[in-house]
Structure 1
Amino acid sequence: MNRLSPRVVFVVSHLTPTLGLERVVLNLLDHLSRDLDLRVIVIGGTAADADLAPCPVEVLGAPLRGMARLATPLRLFRVRRNLRRACVVYVGAWAAVPGLLVAPKSSRRIVWEHSLISENVRRTRSLRLLKTAARLVYRRASRIIAVSNPLRDDLRQVGLPAITVPNPLQYPLPVQALEPEGREAFRLCAVGSLTSVKNQALLVRALSQLPSAYTLDLVGDGPKRQALIVLCKELGLGQRVRFHGHQSHAATLEIMAKSAVLLHAATGETFGLVFAEAALLGVPVVAVRNRLSEEWVETGRVRGVTVRAEPSDIAGAVTRLETLPGPASKLDEVTWLKEYRLDAVAARWRSELAAWSEDGGK
């Protein structure tokens, strides 16, 4: 096999559960492994993590959560000799911050940044701490790759010279889009981990202001699940809210495809994969207004509206969606899709990784 570069090592915090970010990483690895010498280091995982990637995987130990993440630098220090002269891609801040602290100087170090968007940093203490550390240690990286322009801009504002390479989209999707008459007219859905940042409580309150025919599917799990269940009981929503927990990608897309509207209340997003999938499925979106939702919705990539983070605004937008014009063009004519397709994104990554061999790893 023709190898285009020396060994490339992706360092990830985990690969399971396989949610949006993990799926993006695995899809990219699958494409790059066709002609690159790849290896994956999982900082904290299980045997299931080792079986997912299309290349050798080394799991450094059991999963790390909360304060246990303080063990991350020690785990990576123990394998740093294996990273000499390699091109090392640190996936996300939880891998990049500790990884750069102990990275060998002879390696080329790329940060693949997914999380430090300012809207979420302001609301989350752990992200504030990570960004403070990133402002210092990211300067040790040879390249910083952000997954969206707003995230790139945030990094540049603190003096970090990031570039944008978008996440790759899986296309065609494993689920077919339905015609509008094939969707359930009053079925709403939301996809994402049940956290304060994703803000599903706002959607539950919005549902309480809609006629009783409307229902809401929550796909995902997380620390806010019990609080959301209690809120549903307080608002008397009964069976109108369905908690699905973590679902496979195909099962998640099935729920989305059958829904009349995708709701999204996150305070901030770094890429907005769910917006892209809604666009590919032809499902309209009502989203809380932030830089990423505006980039997807108000530029016409996905049909829908952005609104203030108020239950009444979300409920009102749901009832008015039918007055919106349909998509401007057929899917195969949508120009924005080209730059997000896996082969296009993988080509940009190959270019970045090839630069390592040209500069000798400096």
Structure 2
Amino acid sequence: MFLTHNYPRFPGDVPGAFLATLASALVRRGVEIRVIAPSDAGAGGEAELDGVVVRRVRYASAAGERIAYRGAMLSALKAPGGMRALGGLWRALRRAAREEMDAGADLVHAHWWVPAGLAVPPSVPTVITVHGSDAAMLRRSRIARALARPVFRRASVVTAVSRELATWVQSGAGRFVDPAHVHPMPVDTRDYRWTTGGGGAVVVARLTAQKRVSLAIETVAFLASCGHELPLTIVGDGPERVALERQVDRLGIGPFVRFAGAVAPAEVPAQLARADLMIFPAKGEGFGLVAAEALMAGVPVVACWDGGGVLDV
């Protein structure tokens, strides 16, 4: 059983898409998988998505179910009623996990130690996988470290999607992550064709401060000032988009930069099909799955020295 706060709500949905790839691959290998995930804006119940049974559990009023799926959990918690909704989510996930174990599940695979890892009932065989944002909390917050230590101590196995994250778990929660348990999330390679080039640079990211897309824009501006035109396509959306669009206008490079908006995971190969280069400026990334996707399409990747797990790619 997968226990998570992020899993696609419909075909082509972006949040937790890599978990859907993993779940579908396990199902094809004969492993029975059920996914427990939060309801979204009142849309709960049980349904099958790409051969995987997904059970969405209610945890608040429809208006209050805003914690998951939007990549803004911390800001959602600061909103009125946010902590109450988090408590409801914790109780709903724990109750559902207990019901699934009573119904015959063999183990809980909790993706992200918070909130899923925290919600695992005691004395249940558990695998915890850290993906990035949850491991970063261990570096920033003393409270997070205190909460995390018993969660990791109870887990039968802890995995991380990169060596960088494994180090963060070891230093922040005191749990050694065996090198054999460092596993990036899988990528479905069937739809990736080799790039033909000619389209310039591409950034594929949620537009948040941590992704530092502004650095890619500054790069285009610098090259333009030197007489070199490098078109840049920014694929993704998020809270930083307006600021980034203003930066483009301020630097006078509007003709070189295109904001493509968010696209479904299945459309990413098409975005890479003509790219000459991927710019990956994020700081402290958990793994950087899209960088691996770019390399599979023959697109070279430029990352930063402090990029975190992307350096494993």
Query: 2:111 touches 2:130 (CA, 8 Å); kept in 1?
Result: yes
CA distance in 1, matches of 2:92, 2:44: 17
The aligned residue for residue 147 of structure 1 is 161
How much is the aligned-residue C-alpha RMSD, in angstroms?
A: 2.8
Q: TM-score, normalised by structure 2?
A: 0.78
The aligned residue for residue 219 of structure 2 is 206
The aligned residue for residue 238 of structure 1 is 254
CA distance in 1, matches of 2:210, 2:57: 29
- Is the aligned partner of 1:64 residue 2:80? no
Name which of 13, 27, 30 aligns with 1:33: 27
CA distance in 2, matches of 1:116, 1:230: 27
CA distance in 2, matches of 1:40, 1:293: 27
The range that moved more, 236-245 or 158-167, is: 158-167
CA distance in 1, matches of 2:262, 2:93: 29
**Larger Cα Rg: Structure 1 or Structure 2?**
1
What's the CA shift for 1:204? 1.1
- Is the aligned partner of 1:162 residue 2:162? no
In structure 1, stretches of 5+ residues that fail to align are 1-8, 297-362
Mapping 1:255-294, distance limit 5 Å: 255-290=271-306, 291-294=308-311
What's the CA shift for 1:94? 3.4
Are the structure 2 counterparts of residues 131 and 64 from structure 1 closer, same or farther at C-alpha, using a change threshold of 3 Å? farther
- Is the aligned partner of 1:175 residue 2:189? no
Cα deviation 1:239-287 (Å, max 9, x = unaligned) = 3221111112232222222111100110112122122112111111111
Are the structure 2 counterparts of residues 266 and 140 from structure 1 closer, same or farther at C-alpha, using a change threshold of 3 Å? same
Q: SS where residue 258 of structure 1 aligns?
A: coil
Cα deviation 1:1-34 (Å, max 9, x = unaligned) = xxxxxxxx11121323767772221122112224
Give the fraction of aligned pairs with identical amino acids, expressed as a percent. Answer: 27
Name which of 34, 38, 44 aligns with 1:43: 38
CA distance in 2, matches of 1:23, 1:128: 30
What's the CA shift for 1:44? 3.2
Letter in 1 for 2:247: L
CA distance in 2, matches of 1:171, 1:116: 23
The range that moved more, 277-286 or 70-79, is: 70-79
The aligned residue for residue 70 of structure 2 is none
Letter in 2 for 1:33: V
The range that moved more, 49-58 or 136-145, is: 49-58
Are the structure 2 counterparts of residues 286 and 49 from structure 1 closer, same or farther at C-alpha, using a change threshold of 3 Å? farther
Cα deviation 1:150-188 (Å, max 9, x = unaligned) = 21122122311323242343353413103xxx3116x11
Cα deviation 1:37-63 (Å, max 9, x = unaligned) = 321111233469944252322101254
CA distance in 2, matches of 1:29, 1:219: 25
The aligned residue for residue 99 of structure 1 is 119
CA distance in 1, matches of 2:45, 2:219: 38
The aligned residue for residue 11 of structure 1 is 3
Are the structure 2 counterparts of residues 129 and 234 from structure 1 closer, same or farther at C-alpha, using a change threshold of 3 Å? farther
In structure 2, stretches of 5+ residues that fail to align are 68-75
Cα deviation 1:122-149 (Å, max 9, x = unaligned) = 89x6x77645532342222222111112
The range that moved more, 28-37 or 254-263, is: 28-37
Cα deviation 1:277-311 (Å, max 9, x = unaligned) = 12111111111113434333xxxxxxxxxxxxxxx
Are the structure 2 counterparts of residues 236 and 47 from structure 1 closer, same or farther at C-alpha, using a change threshold of 3 Å? farther
CA distance in 1, matches of 2:46, 2:258: 29
What's the CA shift for 1:98? 3.2
Letter in 1 for 2:49: L
CA distance in 1, matches of 2:233, 2:125: 44
